[in-house]
Amino acid sequence: MRKARIAVLVSGGGTNLQALIRAEKRGALSHGKLSLVIANREGAYALERAKKASIPTAVVLKKECGSSEAFEERIKALLRENKIDLIVLAGFMAILSADFTREYPERIINVHPSLIPSFCGKGYYGLHVHEAALAYGVKVTGATVHYVNEIPDGGRILKQKAVAVREDDTPESLQKRVMRLCEWKILPEAVEEAAAGLVHTNAEEKDR
C-alpha cells in the first residue's frame, strides 16, 4: 500500500512531532510516512527529534529568503521535491498566506491549544493561548486539530479534546496538561485519518 508522504512544519520544541514519531513507530500511523521536517527557526529542538528518528530535515528562514513570498516559495519547492501529500503544522509559529493555503485544500493540518473558536486567530499561539484562557476564567479548555484554510485557525475541525482547568493552574501547567492529555493524542489520530482518506481516494481514482 502506498502511504501518504507527510511533512511536519515546526518552530520549537517539537513535542507534537514526537507524538507523531511515536505513533508511526507503534504502527498507529499506518497510512502515512513522516518524510520531511521543516523548521523556520535555527536550533529548534524539533530538528534533533527528527534527526534521531532519521527523518530528513530542512531549515527555511524568512530573513534569509528576503520576503514572505520567497519564504513560502522555498517551502513549496521542498514539498514538491519530497513529493509531500499532507502537511502538518505542529507548533509552526508563522501564518501561511491565503495563496499558500489555497494550493493545498484539505492538505494542511494544524494543532491549536484551545477549543476553537475560543482563544484562536491572530496573536493566539503557544503560551499566550493559555494565559488568555486563565485570564478569561474558563473552566474547560483543550485542543483542536483542524484543516488550514485562508482564515487563521478557521478551517474545518477534525478533532477536539477537552480538559478541566484547575484553580491553581498557571499558563505553564495548563499548557503541559493540554499537550499531554489532548494534543499528543488527537494530532496523531487526525493525521492517520487524513492520511487514510488520501490513500483510499488515490486508490479509487486509479481503479476508475
Q: What is the DSSP secondary structure assignment for residue 139, as one 8-state letter?
A: S
Cell of 178: 493540554
Active site residues: 112
| Nearest partner of 149 among 69, 95, 82, judged by Cα | 95
How far from 89 is each of 86, 139, 191, CA to CA, in Å?
Answer: 10, 27, 11
Binding mask 122-161 for ligand GAR (x = CB under 6 A): ---xx--x--------------------------------
For the bound state, the minimum distance from the C-beta of residue 33 to ligand GAR, rounded and expressed in Å, comes to 20
CA–CA separation, 15 vs 175, rounded Å? 12
Q: Which is nearer to ligand GAR, 2 or 52 (CB)?
A: 52
Range in contact with ligand GAR (rule: CB under 6 A) among 54-62, 105-113, 158-166, 198-206? 105-113
Answer yes or no whether residue 169 interacts with ligand GAR by CB under 6 A. Answer: no
Stated as kind and residue range, the H or E segment containing 62 is: helix 62-65
What is the closest distance, in whole angstroms, from the C-beta atom of residue 121 to ligand GAR in the complex? 9
CA distance 69 to 56: 24
**112 sits near ligand GAR (criterion: CB under 6 A):** yes
Residues near ligand GAR (CB under 6 A), total: 17
Contact between 122 and 152 (Cβ < 8 Å): yes
* Site residues (CB under 6 A) for ligand GAR, limited to 172-191: 179, 183
Least separation, in Å, of the C-beta of 200 and ligand GAR? Answer: 28
Q: Smallest Cα–Cα separation from 187: which of 1, 2, 9?
A: 9
Q: Per-residue x/- marks for ligand GAR, 59-98, CB under 6 A?
A: -------------------------------xx-------
**DSSP assignment of 173-208, as one string?**
HHHHHHIIIIIHHHHHHHHHHHHHHHHHHHHHHHH-
Pick 135 or 203: Cβ nearer ligand GAR: 135
Task: Name the segment binding ligand GAR (CB under 6 A); options: 13-21, 32-40, 76-84, 159-167.
Answer: 13-21
State how far the Cα of 3 lies from the Cα of 26, in Å rounded to an integer: 16
Choice between 81 and 150, CB closer to ligand GAR? 150
Interacting residues with ligand GAR (CB under 6 A)? 10, 12-16, 46, 90-91, 111-113, 125-126, 129, 179, 183
